[in-house]
Chains A and B, each alone.
Chain A
Amino acid sequence: MSLVAVEQVTKVYTIGNAQVHALRGVSLTVDVGAFLAIVGPSGSGKTTLLNLIGCLESATQGAVHLDGQDVSRLSNDALATFRAHHLGFIFQTFNLFPVLTALENVEYPLYAKPLSRRERRRLAMEALEHVGLRDHAAHKPMELSGGQRQRVAIARAVVAKPKLVLADEPTANLDYATGQEILRLMRRINEEQHTTVIFSTHDQRVMQMASRIVGLRDGVIAEDGR
């Protein structure tokens, strides 16, 4: 069964008087449990495709179905709720809240759910432990290394048990070894928790870990290798 169905999606940005076609008719289905890499040179539309699947922006044409639901029809608030319950995000620049500790950062998505303080704390601690940062719970992001920050971000992305985790260039700001480690961690979560993961990268070595590679070029799918 497919978790993600993207149908003939186009996305046009208007910058000044110029129109930029970021996606020119992309169709893609992703099955539950996939570990999918979107690859391609910069400007090929990787981020735009991830944003559309992540309900962070809407398509100019075409539809996006997530878990059987047509998300292009949802209101802003409904999309926010949908993201809170079904999606997890990992960013290139980690995007942790600098004023919160590692544990509080991981707790953040749980506030959308009706949980007690204790339960929230327990789940966040568990997620931190899972990424090997139990001892760093009280540290602020500034006190952590890049790899540690990304591991906190991973814990934050999976703590609410989303069906789908989206990661835009998760290793681009890390050295090779750390990037490998982050990818292995994401893969482990994918396998253990059956969380579907879609990530973008332009790193040849990183994409080898994917179960499926979709190549984008100039806003269209150029290759799709399972």
Chain B
Amino acid sequence: MTLLLAVRNVFRHRTRSLITLAAIAIGGASVIFVGGFFENMFFKMRESYIKGHTGHIQVYRAGFLEKGSSRPFDYLIENPQEIVPLIREIPGVIRVTQRLQFSGMISTGDNTVSCLVQGVEPLYEPSIRQSDAQNPREDLAEVGGAVIEAGDPLDEGHPYGTILGRGLAAGLDAKVGDALVLVANTVSGAINAFDISVQGIFFTSAKVFDDHVLRMPLDTAQQLLYTNAVQTLVIMLERTEDTPRITRQLQARFRERGLPLEVKTWEEINDFYTKTRELFDRMYVILKFVIALIVILSIYNTMTMAVMERTNEIGTMMALGTKRSGVLRLFIVEGVVLGVIGGMLGVLLGSAVTSIVGSIGITMPPAPGSSITWLSKPMVVPSVLAFAFLLSLVTAVVSSAYPAYRASRLEIAEALRHV
């Protein structure tokens, strides 16, 4: 009876109920849309960092992260060719690439600047020509890696061909085809210099990176430094979600064999991502709170009006033997009915809007520290849908609690006089 009465009462004033339901639904849909927007932003940010910079997992010589910055060449992996196969045979690993990173000076003859040199394996470091991507400004992050905006990517056939970050090239005033001199310390402390050429100019999603980095083939970098060692092994996985599992497997393998190596995941390396995520999560909480508040006020208003208008009816119910708890229950159930219907409408509306916008995409300005625009494609996230529905329900119950309580405290005789 309570449910029957509640449902009928909710639809008694169609316009008013529709406005209240719209408030709940729009609130829920906003939570879903913003949640989907953030989720997509973090997904792209994460994937672009992983593909363009850090990989999923990095392996170093133990101690490198603590002391490597002052004495980088004391913490090199001397036998990468023995370790790489150990990693490669773990299921889920798609690529292991070696890197040797050091600082150097480059000179055009007129201009000399310091830079960060990355010796990388041309075959395995992902990069793409801008002209090859259908719409390079749009979805760089999904393509991942470095985008070559002029010239060619690194290749094994050109050991002295290097690629320069966009900002670095601009600072040097260097163009594709220019000859440069690269000077660096060898691992034993002597000074060595190579003639190199600018084979290409690249950019990534991180501006700071593009301002300082020069990439060259690993073999050439090792010759320059008089070493066969590498600094970092960068591991790419099939699925980002496998990171914790494979990290544990790697640690176990290294321990079994007594290899002095340490393992870091992309999350541990990308402090910027983790911090940004925390910041946005906090903002999202505030947004949810504000939405909940608006929905609460809207339902509260509807329920208070309902109690006032139905004072006489409440008196009649109690005269006919309905207990105060029964009146309380009726109005709470009316709130729940509003919450359930509003929540379902919100889930439908939110999923629809999110997937429509997600299929079209919104062009977004460059992220902090980045130089390229990107395309946001909000995603429908099941856990966010569930949360939005629950939020509607809980706010509905919370906001009908006080009006329901007031209804249940009415004096019968007084309520019956009320017309």
Contacts and interface: CB of A to CB of B under 8 A. Distances in A.
Interface stretch (B181-189, B194-202, B239-247, B321-329): B321-329
A99 interface: yes
A93 B9 contact: no
Contact of A97 (B316, B319, B324, B411): B316
Nearest to A58: B413
Contacts of B325: 77
Contact of A77 (B324, B412, B419): B324
Contacts of B1: 107-108, 111
Nearest to B6: A99
B4 to A, nearest CB: 8
Interface in B384-415: 411-413
B324 A83 contact: no
A147 to B, nearest CB: 19
Nearest to B413: A57
A206 interface: no
Interface string B292-319: 0000000000000000000011001111
Contact of B416 (A81, A91, A108): A91
Given A95-B312, A95-B316, A99-B8, A80 B321 contact: yes
A66 to B, nearest CB: 14
Contact of A108 (B8, B320, B413, B419): B320
Contacts of A100: 4-5, 8
A113 to B, nearest CB: 10
Contact of B321 (A81, A95, A107): A81
A112 interface: yes
Contacts of B419: 93
Contact of A84 (B5, B320, B411): B320
Interface residues of A, number: 26
B201 to A, nearest CB: 73
Interface string A72-99: 0000110011011100010101010111
Nearest to B1: A111
A93 B312 CA distance: 10
Contact of B5 (A51, A76, A95, A97): A97
Interface string B1-28: 1001100110010000000000000000
Contacts of A51: 413
B416 A109 contact: no
A56 interface: yes
A56 B321 contact: no
Contacts of A85: 321
Contacts of B412: 56-57
Contacts of A219: none
Given A51-B413, A93-B419, A98-B12, A109 B321 contact: yes
Contacts of A97: 5, 313, 316-317
Nearest to B318: A80
A31 to B, nearest CB: 24
Interface string A147-162: 0000000001000000
A83 B319 contact: yes
Contacts of A80: 318, 321-324
Nearest to B7: A99
Contacts of B413: 51, 56-57
A54 interface: yes
A136 to B, nearest CB: 18
A225 B12 CA distance: 47
A76 B322 CA distance: 10
Given A95-B312, A97-B313, A54 B319 contact: yes
A119 to B, nearest CB: 15
Interface in A81-139: 81, 83-85, 89, 91, 93, 95, 97-100, 104, 107-109, 111-112
A109 B8 contact: no
Contacts of A156: 320
Given A56-B413, A99-B12, A100-B5, A109 B320 contact: yes
Contacts of A109: 320-321
A77 B319 CA distance: 12
A181 B319 CA distance: 25
26 contacts: A56-B319, A57-B411, A57-B412, A57-B413, A80-B322, A83-B320, A84-B320, A84-B322, A89-B316, A89-B319, A91-B316, A93-B312, A93-B419, A97-B5, A97-B313, A97-B317, A99-B5, A99-B9, A100-B4, A100-B8, A107-B1, A108-B1, A109-B320, A109-B321, A112-B321, A156-B320
The 8 closest A-B pairs by CB, nearest first: A84-B321, A99-B8, A57-B413, A95-B316, A80-B323, A56-B412, A83-B321, A51-B413
Given A89-B320, A109-B321, 16 more contacts: A56-B413, A56-B416, A57-B412, A77-B323, A77-B325, A81-B321, A81-B323, A83-B320, A84-B322, A95-B313, A95-B316, A98-B313, A99-B8, A99-B9, A99-B12, A111-B1
Interface of A: 51, 54, 56-57, 76-77, 80-81, 83-85, 89, 91, 93, 95, 97-100, 104, 107-109, 111-112, 156
